[in-house]
Chain A
Amino acid sequence: MFVNLTKLDLKETCPLTDKGAPKLCMKALPGEGAERSCAFDGARVVLMPVTDAAHVVHGPIACAGNSWDNRGAKSSGPQLYRRGLTTDLMEMDVVYGGEKKLIQAIIDVARKHQPKAVFVYATCVSALIGDDLETACKEAQKDVSVPVIPVNAPGFMGDKNIGNRVAGEVLFRQIIGTAEPETVHPFAINFIGEYNIAGDLWGIQPSLEAIGIKLQACISGDARFDDIRTAHRAKLNVLVCSKSLTNLVKQMEQKYGIPYIEGSFYGIHDTSATLRAIAKAFGDAGLIERTEAHILQKEAETRAVIEPLKAQLSGKRAVLFTGGVKTWSMVTTLRELGIDVLAGGTQNSTPDDFLRMKALMDPTAHIIEDTSAAGFLTLIKEKSPDLIVAGGKTKYLAHKTRTPFLDINHGRSLPYAGYAGMITFANAVARTVFSPVWEKMRVAFPPEVTVNE
C-alpha cells in the first residue's frame, strides 16, 4: 500500500551517530517535545505549491482544517492551490469507510474548480480504516478529465522528510514525462525543491535570465502542472532543497539521463557557486563567460550595498535552528555578514545536510542535541546569542528570551534568495539585531529606590 521506504535510499546515509544529528531512521520519542511534523505534511510541502492543481486531503479536520493556506509559497497566477479542500471524515465515515465520499469529493472539486490536476492525500485515519486511495482515485478518474493523483503518505509513516520523499516518488512515477514541451531550450534546467517561499524564486530568476538559462520546471514553487509534466526534457536538475528529493533526481538521471547538481541560492557565495556550477555542467564557453561576467557584476553590486551593514554586524554571534538546505547554507550566509554561528541544530534535514552544516561551522560551535523547547531555552541562556535564526514555531519562544530573532522558514514574508535576496536578508538581520526594543526589555522597572542618607 505504501511506498517501500528501503527503495528511497534512506539506508545509505543513516543512521548518524553524531551528537544532534537528525534522527531520520530513529523514532521520535513520545513526550520529548521534539516533534518533526509528519509524512503527510512533508508530502504536502512538496506538492501543494503546484498552483493550478486542486489539493484534496482525505482525512478528518485536523489534517486540513488546522493547516490550509499556512505556507508562504507564492504564485504569480492561479490561487487554486491555496484552497483548503478536504473530505472532513466523520464518525460514520470511520465506521463505513470513506472511499465513496472521497470519489464524489474528487468529482465535485474537479467540476467546481476546474483544476489542471487533482492531488489526493491520504492521512492517518483514512489509511487506518483501510480506504484504498489508489482505487478511489482510479474510480474518480472515470468522471474527471484531468489527472487524479494519489499521494499515499499518512502521518504515522514518519516525519516530514519521509513525506518529501514520497512526494518525489509521486512526481517521478505519475507526472514527470507525461507531456512533451513545444520547444526545448538548449540550456533548460529544473529546480528541484525550490518552493518560492515569500517569492524566493523570483529573486533567482533574474540571474537565470541574465546568463541565458531557461527554467523548464520548478518543483514546485510557482509551478504549473503542465510544466512539471515536461520536466524530463530539461538538460540539468538543480537540487535546491538538498537531499529530501534526492530520490527524484537520481531516478530522473537513470531514466532520462539528466545529470544533477546540488546548490543553494542563499547568500552571495552560494548563489555564485550554484550559478557557476550550472554553467559548468553545460560546459558552454559562452554561457560560462556570461555567468562569470554576471557574477562579477552582481557580487560587486551586492557587496557594496551590504558592506555598511556587515561593518555593524561583524562579530555578532548567532544560534541557528532550521531545516533543509538552510541548515548549511545559512552558516555561510551569516558569515558573509560577519556573524559567527555559536550553535546550530536541525530537525527536518537529512543526515547529509547536517554533516555539511557541521563541516562549515567552527569546530568549537555547539550542536543542538535537545531540540525541544526546554533544550532551546537552556541553550539560549547558556550562550546569550546576539541573534536567533529559526522558524515560526520557535519565533515566539525566542521572543520570550528577549533576543533578536529572524524567521527564515516558510512563515516569513520576505524573500531571501539570490543576490537581491541577500540584500533583503542583510537588512532584515540588521533590523532585528539593532532594533531599539530589546534593550528596553533588559531594564528593570521600576528602578530600585536608593535612599539618600
Chain B
Amino acid sequence: MKKLFALIISVALVFCIMSISASADDASENITVNDGQTVFIFENGVSSEMQSRFIADYYNLDDNGAETYGLTCTLLGHKLESTNTITITHKVRATSPRCLKEYFTFEACSRCDYTNTTLIHSEYISCC
C-alpha cells in the first residue's frame, strides 16, 4: 500500500514538473506582422488564425456587420481565446512623435465568428 502511494506521488510530481517546464515560455519573443503602414506585434504563441482575425477586426473597427453564432455558443456561451496585441501605425503625425502605438486586448470565439477588441492605451512614439 505504501509502495503504491509512493508510486502515485512520484508520477504526480513528474507530471507537475513537465507542466511547469512546458509553461516556461519566453514571453519577449513576439510575432511581428508588417502590413505596410501598420505593424502588428503579437504575443509569442498566438496562432496565425488569431492573428488574421485580429487584423481583420482592426481594419473593420466601425463595421457592425452580422456575426454568426453557433447553437453551442448560444446555449453554453462562447469559447473565448484572448491575446494582447500592439499596433504601430507609422507617420500619422507630421512632426515627431509621428507614429501611433496602440495596445489592444483581443478576444475571439473558437466556435463562431464572435470577436471583441478593446483599446487599452494609445500613445505617439518616435520611431520614424
Same complex = no
